[in-house]
Amino acid sequence: MNTLTQVKTTPPARPEPALLPPVDVLEDSTGITLYADLPGVPKDKLHLRVEGDQLAIEADLGLPVPEGLTAAHAEVSLARYRRTFTLSKELNADKVSAELSQGVLRVRIPKADHAQPRKINVQVA
């Protein structure tokens, strides 16, 4: 069963191309945990949005050219990360939590109450 599908990023309103960060997605009985590599992103430049059933991760790299220095060799020239996911109805999009540490974003999306495994007590008459 699949609860997270990646949406093909159609040409966005903003013409600027963006980097697609690699992700790891773990699914267990209580929800989904997603890890994304976003090096160079400070917390204030990270934007996590849930719109309907879409989870969007967007971040600006915070690696400005240090003052007074010139670039001898620059590979990190695309300044934005972007990736979008479609959340299945099993997931509770209102309870998304996230943390960012050393460039790794961890997003936790629990399954909706109705989809959580529920233990049923069986009474023995």
Partner 1 sequence: MKFDDLRQGIESLWGTMSEGWDRLRHTAAGALTRFRPGDKTDLPQREQIDDLLYMPGQHWAMLGGDVYEDEGRLVVRIEAPGLEKDDFDVQVQDGQLVIRGEKRFEHESAEGRWRVLQCAYGSFERRVALPVAVRGDEAQASYRNGVLKVTLPKAEPAKPRKVDVQVS
What is the binding site for partner 1 (CB under 8 A)?
2, 4-9, 11, 17-20, 22-29, 33, 35, 37-42, 62-63, 65-66, 68-78, 102-104
User: Measured from the CB of residue 109, what is the shortest distance to partner 1 in angstroms?
Assistant: 13
- Find where tokens 């059933």 sit: 53
Q: Which is nearer to partner 1, 20 or 124 (CB)?
A: 20
User: Measured from the CB of residue 49, what is the shortest distance to partner 1 in angstroms?
Assistant: 18
> 34-49 b/e with 16+ CB inside 10 Å = b?
bebebeebeeebbeee
Q: Which is nearer to partner 1, 65 or 125 (CB)?
A: 65
User: Measured from the CB of residue 39, what is the shortest distance to partner 1 in angstroms?
Assistant: 4
CA distance 19 to 31: 27
User: Measured from the CB of residue 25, what is the shortest distance to partner 1 in angstroms?
Assistant: 4
Going by the DSSP 8-state scheme, the letter that residue 122 receives in this structure is P
Contacts of 88 (CB under 8 A, 6+ apart): 2, 3, 4, 5, 53
Q: Which is nearer to partner 1, 49 or 78 (CB)?
A: 78
As given in the structure block, the two tokens for residue 114 are 């109705």
Q: Which is nearer to partner 1, 51 or 67 (CB)?
A: 67
